[in-house]
Structure 1
Amino acid sequence: MRVGLLTREFPPDVYGGAGVHVEFLARELGPLVDLDVHCWGEGSAADRAAGIQRHRPWSRLDDANDALRTFSVDLSMAAALQGRDLVHSHTWYANLGGHLAKLLYGVPHVVTAHSLEPLRPWKAEQLGGGYELSGWAERTAFESADAVIAVSGAMREDILACYPALDPERVHVVHNGIDTALYRPDPGTDALVRAGVDPDRPYVLFVGRITRQKGVPHLLRAVRDIDPAAQVVLCAGAPDTPEIDREFRTLYEELSAVRDGVRWIPRMLPRPEVIQLLTHAAAFVCPSVYEPLGIVNLEAMACGTPVVASRVGGIPEVVEDGVTGVLVDVDDHFEAGLARALDRVLGDPVAARRMGEAGQERAVTRFGWDAVARRTVELYEEILGGRKQA
């Protein structure tokens, strides 16, 4: 079976959960199918030898809206997919490329939904009128796809609510996964010291992009009121817009003025350093206002760390409230709820350790990437088998 996997992010350029998903899915799919990966970037001979084709936006569009630049990459991807038996796209950045390949070559198109444009209205701040184009590309691809994979049960409900023309039988749940051989507790503390974090003092950790979806402004306001003995460590970069970047910096400066032990790490850290930070955190915090699943919560759990997270989207399918962490309702009292939940974990190290151990067991037993890949290939086979019978 010859499969084309379409994505914006692929190593070494991974900045979000969708990129992590594709990285590990591709690794596990490789032994199971004849796989080509199509992603953004500048290609090399080594990439081509490994079955990776990188595409860049057309230079004539360097000053154009990002949505138009994305569409130029989609055209390049579609042109390179001849000879594939099936194409599988991830995020709106690649969905149109998969849809065009379906039309051009008559092959099935599978879409994995990592988020939904109608549920991210703040993207208009980033894309301007391009937000209408990104929504159009996503809707067109979803409604025409042979199958849509939702990364959680909550995500499946959102897909069907946003796109009622989509046949529910074509929407399948395949949860995100975690590599528990890679994400596991690391007793070392050298990465903490390099980051300016005191290993002997508890800290609350955030890892994610600076975006309204991730709820970073809410977090910066919430942690003003938590136990002053705790450090606050923010591995936060890749701001969506200059506006959210300025807002983040202002809130960070205000927070730093009222409490000590606040550390901002704006660069993308190597994965081993992130794992070490996750391991030693007293609590990992995920304040997202929208989250189809949240791979980063799985990563924290696999490292044995309790999670404080918002009760939205697919997060409750990962974080078991009171068992592997604490869930907080996103309501008018969200920031106060975050502060209370963090103090609850910080104030009871024995219970926190119990949550961390339960989270690690849950990550190991229920969310392996090998199972994700097998289920994905089964879906490919069902689609191709159905076409042959028809």
Structure 2
Amino acid sequence: MRYAHSASLRVALVSEHASPLAELGGPDAGGQNVYVAQLAHHLARRGHDVTVYTRRDGPDLPPEVTTPGRVKVVHVPAGPASRVPKDELITYMPEFGSYLARRWKSEPPDVVHAHFWMSGTAAMIGVRGLGVPVIQTFHALGTVKKRHQGAEDTSPPQRLAIEASIGNSCRRVLATCADEVSELAAMGVERDRVSVVPCGVDPRHFTPADGRARDTSGPRRLVAVGRLVRRKGFDRAIRALAEVPDAELLVAGGPPADLLFAEPEAERLRKVAEDHGVADRFTLLGSVPHGRMPALMSGADLVLSLPDYEPFGIVPIEAMACGTPVVATAVGGHLDTVVDGVTGALVPPAEGGGHDLAEVIRTLLDDPVRLARYGAAGRERVLAHYTWDRVADGVARVYSAVNATPSLSGVVR
């Protein structure tokens, strides 16, 4: 055995499009950026030597940056030093991988953790001939995206085959929820090659705001959060709002509020609200700063998370950390995080229609005692399962296991 569980490891995180330094809110900046940044920070706090490799997407970026938390971020020269749509980056992964191979030849890491499928292609090139184990986290699977988006899926055509190859070539796949394990099995990845460690949330930031009790004389507040894309199901929430009197719906996401006029999905959602007679009770907030999000969620009676599909879904656990009950579609990671009848309610995906959703919302809003109980239980669940400390512990156990026993199997829960 090379390392005990507590031994310090040289960890390389490969995140080709999602830099831990990126400002959130861009078209390709979101949950993966947060995951990589938080994981790197918490691993470094545990004494591991952590380096993140991400593509250089700006001409003024320095070759390397060291964060206050002692995480080194390397900007890899692969392709143009400018922003490139995520789905077009596969062209530059051989160049990315060759850079890693040159860098690691003299001083290889102990473990490589690749994030997203394209990072996996670069990582596998980088470790060729070195015997360094590669852990793969997909964050989203092409099979799921293709199933739900069909002809609108902009992924490169080779994505599905490459994901299956990576899943069967890397040392271990690190999934974020049980549903992903089933998806991987359907792709031909054996279950004993998969470990499960969820995503996390910072419960010191996402915490019930002071003075959380709201003025009950005003409208009941429903909040939904996410990128302004059709699959997030905001239109379903609007249709349900028409059947929930004395309630308002606030949607946070997309560009800043003063630029929403140029956002096609924002215009579509406004039209849906007008068609259903709820335009006066529907507000698009645009992007909300990270620092203001806990107050927004804490001030809601319910947070709605209604995507058609969701690989993990960070919004429900952020809301639960704020002590706010959640109504979520029974898809992906929601099946793990939201306990129906305990921390909120799970509803069928969008094809169930808006009326059933409205009934669930009305029932919960009419029962303040149940809402309070669900909110408290949600906070407790986050503290027990979804803090970044717990996530980092689970990931570090997988790292140590693949270094100690290459054939190790099992699921970390």
With over 3 angstroms needed to count, the CA separation of the structure-2 counterparts of 1:307 and 1:209, relative to structure 1, is same
Residue 208 (1) aligns with residue 226 (2): yes
How do residues 173-184 of structure 1 correspond to structure 2 at under 5 angstroms?
173-184=196-207
Q: Which letter maps to 2:42? A: E
2:252 corresponds, among 235, 238, 256, to 235
CA positional deviation for 1:271 = 1.3
With over 3 angstroms needed to count, the CA separation of the structure-2 counterparts of 1:97 and 1:72, relative to structure 1, is same
The answer to whether the Cα contact below 8 Å between 2:174 and 2:197 also exists between their aligned partners in 1 is: yes
CA positional deviation for 1:45 = 6.8
The answer to whether the Cα contact below 8 Å between 1:57 and 1:70 also exists between their aligned partners in 2 is: no
Residue 25 (1) aligns with residue 39 (2): yes
Residue 223 (1) aligns with residue 241 (2): yes
Structure holding more helix per residue: 1
Report the secondary structure of 2:45's partner residue.
Answer: coil
Residue 2 (1) aligns with residue 13 (2): no
CA positional deviation for 1:289 = 1.7
Report the secondary structure of 2:264's partner residue.
Answer: helix
Worse overlay, 293-302 or 206-215: 206-215
Deviation string 1:299-332 (CA, Å, 9 cap, x unpaired) is 1000000000011122122111111111101264
The answer to whether the Cα contact below 8 Å between 1:152 and 1:314 also exists between their aligned partners in 2 is: yes
Name the counterpart of 1:67: 87
Identity of aligned residues (%): 27
CA positional deviation for 1:124 = 5.0
Instruction: Give unpaired runs (5+ residues) of structure 2.
Output: 1-8, 256-262, 409-413
2:398 corresponds, among 363, 370, 379, to 379
Name the counterpart of 1:36: 51
Report the secondary structure of 1:47's partner residue.
Answer: strand
- Alignment: residue pair count: 373
The answer to whether the Cα contact below 8 Å between 1:101 and 1:107 also exists between their aligned partners in 2 is: no
With over 3 angstroms needed to count, the CA separation of the structure-2 counterparts of 1:291 and 1:336, relative to structure 1, is same
Deviation string 1:84-143 (CA, Å, 9 cap, x unpaired) is 22210112242222222232644211011322111112275252xx43133343223222
1:135 corresponds, among 160, 163, 166, to 160
Instruction: Give unpaired runs (5+ residues) of structure 1.
Output: 193-197, 239-244
With over 3 angstroms needed to count, the CA separation of the structure-2 counterparts of 1:217 and 1:145, relative to structure 1, is farther
Worse overlay, 326-335 or 176-185: 326-335
With over 3 angstroms needed to count, the CA separation of the structure-2 counterparts of 1:322 and 1:330, relative to structure 1, is same
Residue 11 (1) aligns with residue 31 (2): no
Pairwise CA RMSD of aligned residues?
Answer: 3.2
TM-score normalised per structure 2: 0.81
With over 3 angstroms needed to count, the CA separation of the structure-2 counterparts of 1:45 and 1:168, relative to structure 1, is closer
With over 3 angstroms needed to count, the CA separation of the structure-2 counterparts of 1:44 and 1:226, relative to structure 1, is farther
Residue 168 (1) aligns with residue 191 (2): yes
With over 3 angstroms needed to count, the CA separation of the structure-2 counterparts of 1:53 and 1:285, relative to structure 1, is same
How do residues 252-271 of structure 1 correspond to structure 2 at under 5 angstroms?
252-256=270-274, 258-259=277-278, 260-267=280-287, 269-271=288-290
The answer to whether the Cα contact below 8 Å between 1:4 and 1:35 also exists between their aligned partners in 2 is: yes
Deviation string 1:125-165 (CA, Å, 9 cap, x unpaired) is 252xx43133343223222110001111122111111x21x
Name the counterpart of 2:178: 153
